[in-house]
Amino acid sequence: MSTLAWTADLALDQPRMDATHREFVDLLAALARTLDDAPAAAGAALQALTEHTVEHFAQEERWMVALGYAAENCHAFQHASVLNVLREVQRLHAAEADLDLVRRLATELAQWFPAHAQMMDAALAQTMAERGYDPETGELAVPAAADAAPITGCGGASCS
C-alpha cells in the first residue's frame, strides 16, 4: 500500500500547523503499516487517526473563526466531509471488520491531504501570517476592518 510521507513540500511555515500536519501524516502511515503488518490492530490505528483529525480540524476552525471566516466556508465544509467519511468507515469497520474499506480510506486520504494542505491550509497559514495571528495566544495584530465581509471561500487571494 502506498502511503504518504512527510516532506518539506507539505510544510507551510506555520510551526503549529506543520506539527499537526506531520502528526496526521504519521498517524496515516501508521494506519497503513497496521493494515499490512497487524490487521487486528487496524481499529485502534483508525481510532487514533480519527481522534487526531477531529482535534486537528477543530484547531484550524478555531483559527478561522478568529480570522473572520464565515461559518459557511469551503475549508470547514471539506473538514466536515472528511470527518463524516472517517466516522462512517470507523463504524463499518467495527461492525464488519472490513479491512478493504479501511485500506481504501487510507489510500484516499494519502491522495487528498497534500492538495488540501497546499491549497486550503496554505491559504489559512498565509492569512494568519498577513494578519499577525498567533495560534498559541490567539492574539491578532491586524484585526479585520469593521465592515469587512466574512471569508466564505478558502481564504486565499483567489477566493473570497
pLDDT reading at 158 higher than 60: no
Q: Which residue has the higher pLDDT, 19 or 98?
A: 19
Task: Decide if 108 is inside a domain.
Answer: yes
Q: For 29-56, write each residue's pLDDT tens digit.
A: 999 999 999 999 999 999 999 999 999 9
**Buried b vs exposed e over 84-94: b needs ≥16 C-beta within 10 Å?**
eebeebbeebe
User: What is the pLDDT, as a whole number, of residue 107?
Assistant: 96
Task: Decide if 6 is inside a domain.
Answer: no
For the chain, what is the mean pLDDT?
91
| C-alpha cell at position 119 | 491549497
Task: Decide if 95 is inside a domain.
Answer: yes
Task: Decide if 146 is inside a domain.
Answer: no
Whose CA is closest to 114, among 28, 46, 31, 51?
28
- Grid cell 504519521 is found at 26
pLDDT reading at 11 higher than 50: yes
157 — pLDDT class (breaks 50, 70, 90): very low
Task: Decide if 88 is inside a domain.
Answer: yes
Report the percent of the chain where pLDDT is more than 90: 81
Task: Decide if 158 is inside a domain.
Answer: no
Task: Decide if 155 is inside a domain.
Answer: no
HEC readout, the chain: CCCCCCCHHHCCCCHHHHHHHHHHHHHHHHHHHHHHHCHHHHHHHHHHHHHHHHHHHHHHHHHHHHHCECCCCHHHHHHHHHHHHHHHHHHHHHHHCCHHHHHHHHHHHHHHHHHHHHHHHHHHHHHHHHHCECCCCCCECCCCCCCCCCECCCCCCCCC
Q: Which residue has the higher pLDDT, 155 or 79?
A: 79
**Domain enclosing residue 33, as ranges:** 14-131
Separation between Cα atoms, residue 158 and residue 160, nearest integer Å? 7
- We report the CATH number of the domain holding residue 48 as 1.20.120.50
Q: Which residues pair with 69 in a beta bridge?
A: 151
Q: For 87-132, write each residue's pLDDT tens digit.
A: 999 999 999 988 999 999 999 999 999 999 999 999 999 999 999 9
Region for 130 from its dihedrals, namely left if φ exceeds 0, alpha if ψ lies in -120 to 50, beta otherwise: alpha
Handedness of CA 149, 150, 153, 157 (dihedral sign): positive
Number of domains in the chain: 1
Task: Decide if 4 is inside a domain.
Answer: no
